[in-house]
A and B are shown apart, each in its own frame.
Chain A
Amino acid sequence: MRKLFYILMVISFASCQDFFLQEVDVKIDKYPKGVAVTAIWVNAQEGGKIFISEANPILDSTPQVITNAEIKVSSTKGSIWGISTIDSDGAFDCIPNNSVAIGDKLSLQIKVANFPELTASQIVPDTVSLKSFEFILNGFSNPDGYKENLYKINLDDPIGKNYYGVKIVQLDEQGNESRLYLSSSDQYYKGESDSQVHLFNDHLFNGKNITLNLHGSNWNGNEGKIIIYLYNLSEDLYRYFYAEGIKGEDEENPFQEPVVIPQNIANGYGIFGIASCTKKIVEL
């Protein structure tokens, strides 16, 4: 009996090598190769970047950046757009030559050889002004008693569905920006995008005056200037930022429900998202 037990123990340990993580064949439907576009313009007046990549079936080789695309941006309210050459990130810069009107429908057309033309459109959201801003030193108490600074952003929410993004940066003496690491305990707060834009939606305060609260510490000291960016995001961009945020939070968590990254590019993949931005510079 004892011998049998020892033999089993030895077999057990020997056979457990490479047991816990093994490559496995999974039959995945063969999706065709395509093209993916990332065009996120958080300030419609300034335009933004268009980044184009191959979109490959998951089991194929790593996708490559596409730099030989033909891009056209058209407008329904007369804005004229110029596309500059590729920058160091492999993205195209897309800049308006004149002012962009609220409600303008911007359409994107991208041609890449051997693929169908990709199209997407977005309507420039209303600009929402930042009515007032208040900075309260140590104005927020964390549950553990630790004090943080409080940033209060007041605005008049227009009637209809609106989606907001807030980003606050600190300026040093040389004028360099550094991000502030913030959070919020507001019930309207919906998390933070991958690019650290704090998200809110107006489902609970539609058409009312509201104060959005963020809190955090200024690691570079509580002096100098800060810039508050208030974005009014298109719904597509809000949903993209939101999905990006929750996917990023728990990417390694196998028990998280799968996150669907929103797509709005016809004949391809990716996102065209647009926002209107107002900013305020405040001396602390």
Chain B
Amino acid sequence: MVLNPSLINLILTKDTIINIGLVSGLTLSEVQISSNKEEKIDRSTRMSTIDVPLEQIKKVPALFGEVDVLKVLQLLPGVSGGTEGTSGFYVRGGSPDQNLILLDGVPVYNVSHVGGIFSTFNSDALKNVTLTKGGFPARYGGRLSSILEINMKEGNTNEFHGEGGFGIIASRLTLEGPIKKDKASFMISGRRTYLDLIAKALLSLDKETKDEVGKFSLFFHDLNAKVNWKLNQKHRLYLSSYFGKDQFGVSWNDTYFSGDDYDRGESNINWGNITTALRWNYGIRPNLFSNATLTYSRFKFNLLGAFESKFNEDFSSYAAKYFSGIEDLAAKIDFDYLPNPRHSIKFGSQLIHHTYSPGAFNFKFEEKVQGGGIEKFDTLLGPPKTKSIESATYVEDDIRFGSFGLNLGLHFSTFTVPQKSYFSLQPRIAARYLLSKDYTVKASFASMTQYINLLTNEGIGLPTDLWVPSTKNILPQQSWQAAAGVVKIFRDQYETSVELFYKQMHDVIAYKEGSSYLDISDSWEDKITQGDGKAYGAEFFVQKKKGKLNGWIGYTLSWNNRKFEEINGGESYRYKYDRRHDFEIVANYQLSKRWSMSGSWQFATGNAVTLPVIKYLSISEYYKNEYYQKDVFINGKKNAYTMPSYHRLDLGFEYRKKKKRFESAWVLGVYNAYNRANPFFLIPSQKTDDATGVTKTVFKKVSILPIIPNISYQFKF
């Protein structure tokens, strides 16, 4: 005998008791109750927001088998990846610094490991991922283009669980469980690569090299930890932290025959983030809640080169260190007030203290020559640390009447740097109307202001990228975005949406013509210029979150332009990542009880690029009245050309075995399954025709990621 399935819809606004009558004489197996806080997309006033279930993210095939949340986001409509294989993402025509990435509410400033090949987020430690591309509620601010909220698992309060995996370049382990049953829980998750261990083993094969090379490091690691403590029915505390570090270094030591004389040195590059959040959740009344949060976030980059030499009585040592970073201390308070089930009000305030270290050099030198004294030199070059205070206050009112839903809000922010203060009032509005049982129309408008900027080359998430504030010379970036769309849910499982958006950006930053991000000799303010940007387009999205076959299909048709007085002769030009078409399909299919397969395919218009269009010969003087001939290339209009299209298929196969308390899986994957040589960049090259002897210029594309297979083992208990 079986129970007839029944569906009970609940709107939970207070403690509720529901009695369900059962047929007597049945023994029920364990019942699991799960909930989803989010409303269905056709009911919510929010638009341009996408939740991707973690289980779905974990199934998407990944480079080297390392699940990467940010690369999965690149497969969503309205979001594009930058350079091949990297984690940077561009939302509705914005740049990577216009994305506010929050890990448990704390901004993370560098989300890349190994120059962007991997993101800093270990998927095993995460609970949910939500991306907001427009229609920003008033509680969010500080960036122009997107809010990416990532929350860590809170830890199981009843049972001890763990999961982990071994891949070809990294392994990971996550443990969670109760500290005190039903009261307090913990989650701890670690990940580490082991390329250095392999390299060390290879180096040790040669005895001479083994003796010369001292320490050798080539790894990154992450540690996520969270403690959740329910003090009583009204009070709850959360403490969460993230530590991540990339380390590449080598040291060497040459000892001479006497044993006393030596040459030794080290080269070291490391960077990493630390974030911490302490949150106190207080249920003041059944319909009034508060969250008080203290946060800390630090990103630091260090580059060190040191050399020391001793020969007889002579001694010299030299050390050069470059360091940069950003450090935030913040406090915020948020309130949720629910006067009735159809009306909610959110309000709160935030204060952030930013400290920027925009790249400084420290040189040390010490020398002692036989018979002479000691000569010492120690100096610090580069811009000094800068500090700023950013504050924000908001109020947001979400109200439903009949078929109509409205979210109205105001976000007010201030920013103070030495010699300058800025203020900004940003209105936000989002509305939905239930046209019928099946269709919902939505519209939104959001104005945003951004006070901090990332100086970066477009695409690669290098740790040398610098976070810098708006100053008296560099104005805050501003934008407004309007969006409208239709939502429909088919068969209660296919969420479908079509959205149109239009975004105007003002005072966005760009490097001046000829500037190089590698050049650190000029002041950063001299290297950049400010101008306007415009992006508009349409996004189509179908998502199926559950079932034997799940995944999504997305398509974006968009235009994305920039206009700067000092670039391209003041004429408007295409943004580097102006992709007219961006199509992606992600699917996961359960073949049998044990086998499943997944795949993702993406197609995108190639990046916009500036290419030379004319070449001629010129001369330059190399000695008094003596000259040499050289080729001169005249570039066409900025970003007027399009690189070959980008497309790639990734595949994954999973064989899963379940036992009573232990689950394991072998995952075999292929990145770039049909070995498409996607262009990383184009270079002009000379080619001589063997038959005619005529030399012509041709363009060559440089590609970096061919077909790459991977295998990993995963487990869960």
Contacts and interface: CB of A to CB of B under 8 A. Distances in A.
Interface string A231-266: 000000000000110110110011111111101000
B641 A270 contact: no
A145 B365 contact: yes
B702 A257 contact: no
Interface string A13-45: 001100111111111110100101010100000
Contacts of A195: 620-622
Given A53-B617, A269-B616, A58 B627 contact: no
A36 B629 CA distance: 13
Contacts of A275: none
Contacts of A21: 700-703
Contact of B619 (A51, A63, A64, A179): A51
Nearest to B636: A29
Contacts of A34: 614
Interface stretch (B259-267, B348-356, B484-492, B507-515): B507-515
B703 A143 contact: no
B514 A58 contact: no
B126 interface: no
Contacts of B644: 24, 26
B668 A23 contact: no
Interface stretch (B69-77, B86-94, B605-613): B605-613
Contacts of B635: 258-261
A10 to B, nearest CB: 10
Contact of A22 (B620, B700, B707): B700
Nearest to B361: A143
A15 B516 CA distance: 35
A255 B680 CA distance: 11
Given A20-B704, A22-B703, A23-B700, A89 B629 contact: yes
Contact of B618 (A20, A255, A270): A270
A74 interface: no
Interface string A87-126: 0011100000000000000000000000000000000000
A141 B377 CA distance: 10
A8 interface: yes
B683 interface: yes
Contacts of A260: 513-514, 635
A127 B683 CA distance: 43
B524 interface: no
Interface stretch (B434-442, B543-551, B690-698): B690-698
Contact of B703 (A19, A59, A259): A19
A49 interface: yes
Contacts of A27: 641
A261 B634 contact: yes
Contacts of B700: 21-24
Contacts of B616: 36, 53-56, 63, 269-270
B513 A5 contact: no
Contacts of A4: 668
Contact of A257 (B379, B460, B514): B514
Contact of B677 (A19, A58, A60): A19
Interface in A43-84: 49, 51, 53-65
A268 B685 CA distance: 24
Interface string B624-655: 10010110111110101101100000000001
Given A247-B514, A250-B516, A255-B457, A269 B614 contact: yes
B612 A58 contact: yes
**Interface size band for A:** 35 or more
A281 interface: no
Given A62-B696, A255-B460, A19 B516 contact: no
A12 B709 contact: yes
**Interface size band for B:** 35 or more
Interface of B is mostly: strand
Contact of A256 (B516, B641, B707): B516
Interface string A123-147: 0000000000000000001011100
Contacts of B708: 12
A43 to B, nearest CB: 11
Nearest to A251: B633
B711 interface: yes
Contacts of B183: none
Contacts of B614: 31, 34, 55-58, 269
A63 B621 contact: no
Given A256-B514, A258-B638, A1 B632 contact: no
B361 A51 contact: no
Contact of B632 (A11, A29, A36, A256): A36
B659 to A, nearest CB: 19
Interface in B519-559: 519
A58 B613 CA distance: 5
A144 B320 contact: yes
Given A246-B514, A255-B457, A15 B629 contact: no
A143 B381 contact: yes
Interface in A155-200: 169, 177, 179, 194-195
Contact of A144 (B318, B613, B621, B655): B318
B675 interface: yes
A250 B519 contact: yes
B601 interface: no
B662 interface: no
A284 interface: no
B280 interface: no
B694 A61 contact: yes
Contacts of B474: none
B670 A8 contact: yes
Interface in B657-684: 666, 668, 670, 675, 677, 679, 681-684
A16 B707 contact: yes
Contacts of B377: 141, 144-145
B636 A12 contact: no
A144 B365 contact: yes
Nearest to A9: B709
A269 B634 contact: yes
A86 to B, nearest CB: 12
A25 B706 CA distance: 20
B701 A22 contact: yes
Contact of A15 (B618, B695, B707): B707
Given A89-B619, A250-B519, A16 B365 contact: no
B681 A254 contact: yes
Q: Which 9 pairs show the lowest CB-CB distances between chains A and B?
A: A36-B616, A145-B365, A53-B617, A145-B377, A55-B616, A259-B514, A258-B610, A8-B709, A246-B514
Given A58-B697, A90-B629, 20 more contacts: A1-B668, A8-B668, A20-B702, A20-B706, A21-B702, A22-B677, A28-B641, A29-B636, A40-B621, A51-B619, A54-B617, A58-B611, A59-B698, A91-B627, A244-B620, A246-B516, A254-B681, A257-B511, A260-B513, A260-B635
21 contacts: A8-B670, A11-B707, A20-B703, A23-B698, A24-B699, A26-B611, A26-B643, A26-B699, A49-B627, A51-B618, A53-B617, A54-B616, A55-B614, A62-B695, A169-B624, A247-B514, A253-B518, A254-B702, A256-B514, A256-B518, A270-B632
Interface of B: 318, 320, 361, 363, 365, 367, 375, 377, 379, 381, 457, 460, 511-519, 610-624, 627, 629-630, 632-636, 638, 640-641, 643-644, 655, 666, 668, 670, 675, 677, 679, 681-687, 694-704, 706-709, 711
